[in-house]
Structure 1
Amino acid sequence: MDRDLDPQLKVGFIGAGNMAFGIAKGILPGKVLPENVTVSAPSSRNLERFQELGIAVTHSNEEVVCGSQVVFVAVKPHLVPSVLSEVCRHVTDGHVIVSVAAGVTLATLEELLPENSAVIRLMPNLPCVVQEGALLFARGTHATPEAGALIRSLLHHCGLVEEGPEAWIDIHTGLSGSGVAFVYLFAEALAEGAVKMGMPGVLAQSISSQTVLGAGRLLRDSGKHPAQLRSEVCTPGGTTIHGLHALEQGGLRAAVMSAVESATVRARELGLRPAAATRK
């Protein structure tokens, strides 16, 4: 898919946190050259790792916008109004503005930017760093299907990239953004169970990590429903069904569903109301 990208496409990031780094690292294996990527942050604390990738860094958000065609706004949600107010006058019809700020709606973004701006709301997750992310995006009123295709191609190497209605973005945050941490907690618990039964901690953690990785790949690549794969592991009276019984007694299924619900609700709470912005 990346073959359709302009080799001279200029990409910018406002914000240098983990999400920006994950996306930046993910797009470089494609046709985006490091010298065509610029990242800004108010301090130098997180910029060194971008420089190690050959990416240009700056403290000027305006410099990023002026020198880029696709701009990822990767700052904390409460900083979005001030950042967009700062760069608003430099945004043109040639820009695609992509926000990865949790909870900030397309309506808010469009209100803060010049009229007819092409805006996309994107929710990636941390495994973008290893090109195994799960990303969902929604297009704003003035973002064309071509802009969506551009973003899909640009992010192709980051992992699974899907488009959907904005209503799904907060759900995706709870499912995949926060869900990564839920999987880590489960992996930690798996290893601790093995330690309890007498296995050395380092070995238990290594085997737990590989178990999660292998199970995930099999689930993704087989196309089978999780319940089907689970049933294939179980044998009558065997070890797995006894373990699954213990998990059901502990309420694992309900707890995970509640965790996704809680994270989704919180993502919605982070949403900002459309602010009165002066278009420039």
Structure 2
Amino acid sequence: MSDTAAIELLKRAVQLDGEQKYPDALTCYSEAIRMLLKVVKDIPMSEERKRTAYQQKITECMDRAEKLKESIEQKKGFIGGGRIIQALLDGLNEADYLDKMHIWISCPSAEDDKSLLKRFNNTIHMTTSNTVLCNNCDIVLFAVKAKLIKSVCQEIIKTVDNERLKKILFISIIPGLTISTLNQWLQTGENIIRIMYNVNVAKRNGSYAIASSKTNDNNPLQIYLKSIFDKVADFAGNVTETELDIMCALIGSGPAFFCTAVEGLADGAVKAGLSRQLANTLAARTMLGCADILVSSSKHPAELKNDISTPAGTTIYGLHELENKGVRGAYMDALMSAFNRAQTMADQLAKETK
């Protein structure tokens, strides 16, 4: 058997591996191994050096394939099944990746509400028990209200073996909940990180950032977790916890602020005479188009605004009215208020550890 096809397939596997498309990479590695084994079988015993080189390559492929298999089979658990989790599942489903994952969700309504199971074709496991989830998952993400997180952690440390807890990568998307506070409740060491993302992941157009301890940066589970989020969002970087709280206000709350702007523009268009449906669609698509230009061109927002504003035209008159109403300052105040709220929540949660 010719080794050309096997080598090409192996190159493809390495490429997919580098792109973090792990399930597809595993498939290519497995097929390449099968083909290389046939190649080795056809090499004469007299060509020992050639046989050894191929066998070494096969061993390397098998080692990598085994590690990929372990990563892919890692079970992910979400404590809480609200809109922000459903948005993530929607995005992963749209990326054709959800059925390749092992996802558990624990929430009080798991036994009564089967809508999530139906929506995602039974590709997730539902439970009412946080203990069951922690005993089955390697990655656990907290997505409950801040007022509930302490009691959830207390339940977990009472019912789950400590050695088991130390093997889990815990993630929080709760605004203001610091790694230090969560660590004091879970008492598991350094296996805790924070992530902030937004509902835009539902359409694979979100943003996310990670805050973690320095000792946790090379955690294999964290690297794998990033590969999951990369399928639905743009990575803003590894940041400090204070920066993450700012991002909570910007990328977490930002979509709601933008929706308020879209609603206001649409209301104005309705007042002027457009139908509600058309006004809503045009306002949303106008914002979508502007965002696309700003991201793809790296233009400063003021530059695009100036490009649109002609002397004595309609746009500059409208902008004058926005300035009179203090809209720019209102957005700044909204972001600062959301950020300050996250800081206040952090202080309140920290007090509960004392």
- TM-score of the pair, normalised by structure 1: 0.91
Are 2:192 and 1:192 equivalent residues in the alignment?
A: no
**What is aligned with 2:105?**
39
| Helix, strand or coil at the partner of 2:216 | coil
Taking the aligned partners of 1:274 and 1:234, their CA distance within structure 2 comes to 51
* Pairs within 5 Å for 1:33-72: 33=99, 36-44=102-110, 48-53=115-120, 54-72=123-141
Work out whether 1:174 is the aligned partner of 2:249.
yes
Q: How many residues align?
A: 277
Q: Residues 71 and 86 (structure 1 numbering): CA distance in 2 closer, same or farther, change over 3 Å?
A: same
Counterpart residue identity of residue 133, structure 1: G
Higher helix share: 2
Matched-pair contact (CA < 8 Å) for 2:79–2:144:
yes
Higher relative contact order (CA 8 A, sep 6+): 1
Query: What percentage of residue pairs aligned between the two structures are identical?
Result: 31
Q: 2:204 aligns with which of 113, 127, 131?
A: 131
Residues 15 and 39 in structure 1, CA contact (< 8 A), matched pair in contact too? yes
Query: What displacement does 1:8 show?
Result: 1.6
Q: Is the 8 A contact 1:21 1:50 kept in 2?
A: no
Question: Which of 86, 102, 127 is the equivalent residue of 1:21?
Answer: 86
CA distance in structure 1 between the partners assigned to 2:206 and 2:91 by the alignment: 9
Alignment partner of 1:182: what SS? Answer: helix
Alignment of 1:1-280 (within 5 A): 1-4=19-22, 6-28=71-93, 29=95, 31=97, 33=99, 36-44=102-110, 48-53=115-120, 54-88=123-157, 89-90=160-161, 91-140=164-213, 142-146=215-219, 147-162=221-236, 163-271=238-346, 272-273=349-350, 275-276=352-353
Residue 119 and residue 51 in structure 1: after superposition, are their counterparts in 2 closer, same or farther (change >3 A)? farther
Question: C-alpha separation between the residues in 2 aligned to 1:219 and 1:172?
Answer: 19
Deviation by residue 1:106-134 (Cα, 9 ceiling, x = unmatched): 11011112332410111221222222222
Which whole-Å CA distance do the structure 1 matches of 2:134 and 2:190 have between them?
Answer: 13
Larger radius of gyration: 2
1:51–1:57: 8 Å Cα contact kept in structure 2? no
Question: RMSD in angstroms over aligned alpha carbons?
Answer: 2.1
Contiguous gaps of at least 5 residues in structure 1: none
* 1:7 and 1:33 in contact (8 A); partners too: no
- Give secondary structure in 1 for the equivalent of 2:166: coil
Deviation, 1:72, is 0.7
CA shift, 1:9, in A, is: 2.4
* TM superposition score normalised by structure 2: 0.73
My pick for the range that moved more, 138-147 or 111-120, is 138-147
Q: CA contact under 8 A between 1:118 and 1:144: conserved in structure 2?
A: no
Q: Is the 8 A contact 2:138 2:167 kept in 1?
A: yes
Amino acid at match of 1:33: D
8 Å contact from structure 1 (residues 30, 157) kept in 2: no
**Is residue 122–residue 138 contact of structure 1 (8 Å, CA) maintained in 2?**
yes
C-alpha distance after superposition, 1:218-237 (max 9, x if no partner): 21112111111111212222
- How many angstroms does 1:148 deviate by? 4.0
2:142 and 2:172 in contact (8 A); partners too: yes
List per-residue Cα deviations over 1:226-252 (Å, max 9, x = no partner).
111111212222221121111111111
CA distance in 2: counterparts of 1:111 and 1:39, whole angstroms: 24
